[in-house]
Amino acid sequence: MTAPPWRSRDAAYFAALYDANPDPWNFIGSAYEHRKYQATMAALEFRRFDRAFEIGCSIGVLTRQLAPHCASLLAVDIVEAALAHARARCAALPHVRFAALRVPDAWPAGAWPPT
């Protein structure tokens, strides 16, 4: 059986990218990424959320910016090396948690799965 056409690459593919470069998409230094983060934060305005779920958090650059808007934030990725960087970036934020999950194959416990 072949994978559906929408299927993402496997964890090994992404792990190899992070092995070669800890920030393979230049989330830290890219002006393009910076503009995307600004647009995301502008869309949130001053709203706060009880719970938030970030899929594909990578090294936690956006996670760090989302954190002040959330009472509880769960950020997930499939690459442990990326999660290690994200955990370090958000170490001072006890309301931010991280998990190694591949969505949609796995969902965190609770009310997160789509109905």
pLDDT score, position 108: 79
pLDDT score, position 22: 96
- Report which residue type is found at 41: M
Q: Which two tokens stand for residue 79?
A: 């690459």
- pLDDT band for 93, please (50, 70, 90 cuts): very high
| HEC assignment per residue over 33-96 | HHHHHHHHHHHHCCCCEEEEEEECCCCCHHHHHHHHHEEEEEEEECCHHHHHHHHHHCCCCCCE
Q: Which two tokens stand for residue 102?
A: 């591949």
Average pLDDT, the chain: 90
**Spatial separation of the C-alpha atoms in residues 80 and 101, rounded to whole Å:** 10
> What mean pLDDT comes out for the span 53-58?
95
| Bridge partners of residue 35, in order along the sequence | none
> What mean pLDDT comes out for the span 69-83?
96
Q: Is the pLDDT score of 9 beyond 90?
A: no
Q: Is the pLDDT score of 104 beyond 80?
A: no
Sign of CA dihedral 20, 83, 32, 11: positive
What is residue 4's DSSP assignment?
Answer: P
What is residue 100's DSSP assignment?
Answer: E
pLDDT tens per residue across span 23-40: 999 999 999 999 999 999
